[in-house]
Amino acid sequence: MGKTLFEKIWDSHIVEKQNGSSLIYIDRHLVHEVTSPQAFDGLRMNKRKVRRPDLTIATMDHNVPTTDRSLPILDQTSAVQIQTLEENCKDFGIKLFDITSPNQGIVHVIGPQLGITLPGSTIVCGDSHTSTHGAFGALAFGIGTSEVEHVLASQTLWLEKPKPFEIRVEGKRKNPHAVTAKDIVLSIIKNIGTGGGTGTVFEYRGQGITDLSMEQRMTICNMSIEAGARAGLIAPDEKTYDYLRGRQYTPKNYESLVDYWKENLKTDSDAKFEKQFTLHIDDIAPQVSWGTNPGMTCDVTESIPYPDEFSKGDLNQKKGAEKALDYMGLEPGTPIKDIKIDRVFIGSCTNARLEDLIEASKIIKGQKISRNVRAMVVPGSQMVKKQAEEMDLDKIFINANFEWREAGCSMCLGMNPDILSPGERCASTSNRNFEGRQGTGGRTHLVSPVMAAAAAIKGHFVDVREMDLS
One of 4, 5, 6, 28 touching other proteins (CB under 8 A):
28
156 touches other proteins (CB under 8 A)? yes
Rank residues 192 and 284 by Cβ distance to other proteins and give the closer one. Answer: 192
Task: Give the nearest distance from C-beta 312 to other proteins in angstroms.
Answer: 14
158 is a site residue for other proteins (CB under 8 A): yes
Beta bridge partners of 303: 335
CA distances from residue 161 to 13, 221, 235, 445 in whole angstroms, order as listed: 12, 19, 19, 34
48 binds other proteins (CB under 8 A): yes
- The correct pick among 191, 317, 387, 401 for binding other proteins (CB under 8 A) is 317
Residue from 61, 127, 356, 394 touching other proteins (CB under 8 A): that is 127
The interface with other proteins within residues 419-458 (CB under 8 A) comprises 422, 432, 434-437, 440-441
CB of 105 to other proteins, least distance (A): 16
Distance in Å, CB of 52 to other proteins, minimum? 8
In 3D, which of 39, 2, 269, 19 has the Cα closest to residue 154? 39
**Contacting residue, 320, 379, 408, 449, with other proteins by CB under 8 A:** 320
Residue type, 115: G
In terms of CB distance, is 216 or 293 closer to other proteins?
293
Within residues 191-230, the interface with other proteins by CB under 8 A covers 194-195, 198-199, 225, 228, 230
Which one of residues 59, 66, 103, 155 is an interface residue with other proteins (CB under 8 A)? Answer: 155
The interface mask with other proteins, positions 104-123, x = CB under 8 A, is ------------x-x-xx--
Provide, rounded to whole angstroms, the least separation between the CB of residue 391 and other proteins: 29
Q: Does position 417 bind other proteins by CB under 8 A?
A: no
Q: Is 96 in the site for other proteins (CB under 8 A)?
A: no
CB 347 within 8 A of CB 410: yes
Q: At what angle do helices 145-154 and 37-45 cross, to 10 degrees?
A: 50
Does position 70 bind other proteins by CB under 8 A?
no
Q: Which of 86, 98, 153, 247 binds other proteins (CB under 8 A)?
A: 153
CB atoms within 10 A of CB 49: 11
Q: Count the site residues for other proteins by CB under 8 A.
A: 84
In the bound complex, what is the minimum distance in angstroms from residue 237's beta carbon to other proteins? Answer: 19
Query: Could you say whether residue 149 binds other proteins (CB under 8 A)?
Result: yes
Which positions from 331 to 370 touch other proteins by CB under 8 A, shown as an x/- string? ----------------------------------------
Residues 252-311 that bind other proteins (CB under 8 A): 252-253, 257, 260, 293
Q: Does 31 bind other proteins (CB under 8 A)?
A: no
Our finding on whether 406 is near other proteins (CB under 8 A) is no
To other proteins, the closest distance from the beta carbon of 92 in angstroms equals 14
